Structure 1
Amino acid sequence: MYQTGSIISGSSALWLICGFPKEWSAGDLDVYCCNGQGHILVNFFQTQGYQVVNYRTEATEDESSSFFDNSGLSAATKLKRDNREVDILESPTKSAFTPLTCFHSSIVMNYITSSEIVVAYPTFTLRNIGIVQTGTPQRGNQWKEKYETQRAFSIWRHHPMDTSRVCPKRLRWIGDGQSLIVAFDEPAALAPDQNTSWRFNGTQYHQLCSPAVCTRVGFDRYAPRTWDEFIARTKLIVPCE
């Protein structure tokens, strides 16, 4: 991950952030990388005994498929070893973070680098709440059914602005001050990409909001700010050295 600037995201990162709940687990490991780096990750996993079972690109995908629609991806490789699956997901840009801005909801807008864990919407995610990004209808409503029914998340299509100082309509950047960033013992090795930004599609403005800024700045004190507090809140089990 350090060599390629890749990140782990999707349900695998969420499962860790939620403290490895027994009620559900991630179906596979999603590894995102910048454009042109996918083959390095594929080669690595092949040395670990994984075999490629599917490879597709946006350019060659069948027109009847919606996999790449609004996904922020240029290529996807699925590898498998026994009952374990890994998806290598390649960004169309030089940033592995680009696909995160296209995710279906705030629930999965989290990532793990080689040196830190980042939650883009800690106020909601740590309370099992997700805000829908209506402009990215990936996989129809299947994801919504999965997270509401199987994983006990509350899904909000319209954000009740008076419940939080964090507005989903606010212009955001990867690793900004609204994120919960928990670094490991070593300094962060993957610098935030300030060119990667997003603003949620389809959510309503509140009366203090404008297209460029939101006057309700700052994130909720509920969110832990240190590694030890994060472990305590999520009840993670960290092996003794």
Structure 2
Amino acid sequence: LTVLRKTQSIISGSTVIPVLVNLTFTPNDVDIYTPSQYEAIILVELRTKLGFSVFRCTDDNYAPGSGVVRIHWLRKGHHVINLLVVPGDNAVDAIFRFHSTIVMNFISGYGVFSAYPALTLRKKSVANRAVLFDHISQDRADRCFEKYTGRGITTKYDLREHHLWSSHVCGSDKSCPSTFRTLHDDGSLFVAFESTGAPGTPPLFYNGSSSMLWSMGGTRCSPLPVGHSLFIESLPTSFAEVS
């Protein structure tokens, strides 16, 4: 946790899902997302202080459009870390470029966050249509979803196909892909490791200086990307507090 705080990095991907949901699988590795400005620092921390060594890998699981500019693979015994370097100063940006809502979660140095807990805690997921249609082939998308189907997750391209959301209000329901969201709104879930900040203030999710505004796109629910495109923007934390 100290390393995550020091480098403003997060753990994300399938590693976080078993923390939130009771699933019968154990991740083979850990994905750590780090801002490019902390790349050298976290590599030193992982290699010299935690004993990991860099090795060569040809893994192509990280698709274009994921916001990743560089990957380092590190190993210590049977433990593997995929260190994914992202541009800018906010690693959280990367999770909203993932293929579906089931992996839009992270562990920071302060706690565990889920962007779509109403879906995730029910083992439901919705495809990130903008990323899939723009950056990932249908075959690759199908393979991603088959993997999670085998882990007990039901993924749909259209939120309405999940019966609890068959008549939801598009653009308003916090589980809807077209709804604009922030990290601190009432549609997210955050479990803090310890109390941070003064009483009555929002908990510290990430680095304390920024939040996120995002929408997966669309003006109505549809199997196709309709309306506005994927939108992700860093915001001052004070903006998120009013959401």
Pick the TM interval, shorter chain.
0.7 to 0.9
Q: Which structure 1 segments of 5+ residues have no match?
A: 57-64, 213-241
The letter for the 1-side match of 2:182 is W
Q: Please state how far the C-alpha of 1:169 moved relative to its aligned partner.
A: 0.8
SS in 2 for 1:49: coil
Partners of 2:104 and 2:209 in 1: how far apart?
A: 14
Greater mean alpha carbon deviation, residues 75-84 or residues 134-143: 134-143
1:114 to 109, 119, 122: 109
SS in 2 for 1:144: helix
Aligned pairs, number: 197
Is 2:32 the partner of 1:37?
A: no
Partners of 2:185 and 2:220 in 1: how far apart?
A: 22
Q: TM-score, normalised by structure 1?
A: 0.73
The letter for the 2-side match of 1:93 is G
The Cα RMSD (Å) is 2.6
Partners of 1:198 and 1:36 in 2: how far apart?
A: 23
SS in 1 for 2:96: helix
1:77 to 72, 75, 79: 72
Distance 1:204 1:192, change over 3 A: farther
Partners of 1:170 and 1:95 in 2: how far apart?
A: 21
2:52 to 38, 47, 50: 50
Quick check: 2:126–2:156 contact (8 Å CA) kept in 1?
yes
Q: Percent identity?
A: 26
Deviation per CA, 1:140-176: give whole Å up to 9, x if none.
4321111012x01001111114455432210123343
Runs of 4+ in structure 1 deviating by more than 6 angstroms, as ranges, are none
Partners of 2:182 and 2:215 in 1: how far apart?
A: 9
Distance 1:45 1:66, change over 3 A: closer
Higher helix share: 2
Q: Please state how far the C-alpha of 1:80 moved relative to its aligned partner.
A: 1.1
SS in 2 for 1:152: coil
Partners of 1:158 and 1:73 in 2: how far apart?
A: 27
Partners of 2:214 and 2:113 in 1: how far apart?
A: 16
Partners of 1:31 and 1:6 in 2: how far apart?
A: 7
Q: Which residue of 2 aligns with 1:24?
A: 25
SS in 2 for 1:69: coil
Q: Which residue of 1 aligns with 2:216?
A: 200
SS in 2 for 1:44: helix
Q: Which residue of 2 aligns with 1:179?
A: 188
Q: Please state how far the C-alpha of 1:178 moved relative to its aligned partner.
A: 1.8
